[in-house]
Amino acid sequence: MYKIGMETKNTIFECSRELFYEHGVKNTSVSKICEKAGVLPGTFTYYYPRKHDLLSEIYTAYMQKCVDFVDAKISGLPSAKRHLFIVMFYYMHIYRDEKTVRFHKEVLEIGSMNIWFHNTRKLISGFSGINEAAEGSETYDLCVMADNAARRELNLNFIDSPDHSEEKIRELMQKIYTINAKLFDVDPDLVRDYLEEAYLFSLVYRNEPVCLLR
């Protein structure tokens, strides 16, 4: 993509994040994004054929920020532990801001959206106990779907709860990965130990400026 094209796409991306932060998903139309970015609707659809594509890219970019931050702070982690450090950090920073939480809930409520880490297989494959030969099989794919559904439901329940404290985020992660361990035949003691370390790491860096929307 030419430099001017990258600049246009980045302008659309950043303007959309600002609008989503202030007004949410439902109250931010493509026309509003185009107006703020100073582009025509056809330009928007050239880069993002659907609004869902833009939302997906926002989450992908945020996940990459979390990956980069964790990797910069600590290296040499086993892949399973690294996964849990990244995801704990991911949730800690989504749930520290009310407007971001509102946005996150709206996205979760879009049934066709799948924001649960497009590289799920790569991230979970580091856990001991996973039968790598099963990857790509119908059973494995069903387990991934069940894991994604559980994440969605548990996050929505968490959002609707009155307490979004660090300790409650920790409990959310424990619930998610208790299910994950059963689905993928992972050692639950290993998961529990890694989650504790991930939690302590995320507490230290709770206020770092790594944000989903701004």
- pLDDT of res. 65: 95
Residue 116 amino acid letter: W
Residue 175 amino acid letter: K
| Tokens encoding 94 | 């989504």
The Cβ of residue 7 has, within 10 Å, a number of other Cβ atoms equal to: 11
| Tokens encoding 118 | 């497009």
Report the alpha-carbon distance of residue 43 to residue 138 in Å, rounded.
Answer: 39
Report the alpha-carbon distance of residue 65 to residue 62 in Å, rounded.
Answer: 5
Q: What's the first-to-final CA gap in the chain, in angstroms?
A: 25
Sign of the alpha-carbon torsion through 182, 183, 188, 194:
negative
CB 179 within 8 A of CB 52: no
Report the alpha-carbon distance of residue 55 to residue 114 in Å, rounded.
Answer: 10
pTM, whole model, 2 decimals?
0.90
- Which residues have a Cβ under 8 Å from the Cβ of 55 and sit 6 or more positions away? 25, 107, 110, 113, 115
- pLDDT of res. 120: 47
The one-digit pLDDT tens for each residue of the chain (214 residues) are: 555 578 999 999 999 999 999 999 999 999 999 999 999 999 999 999 999 999 999 999 999 999 999 999 999 998 889 999 999 999 999 999 999 999 999 999 997 777 764 444 445 445 544 444 455 677 777 887 888 889 999 999 999 999 999 999 999 999 999 998 888 888 899 999 999 999 999 999 999 999 999 8
- pLDDT of res. 82: 92
- pLDDT of res. 130: 47
Q: What is the DSSP string of 42-109?
A: HHHHHH-SSHHHHHHHHHHHHHHHHHHHHHHH-----HHHHHHHHHHHHHHHHTT-HHHHHHHHHHHT
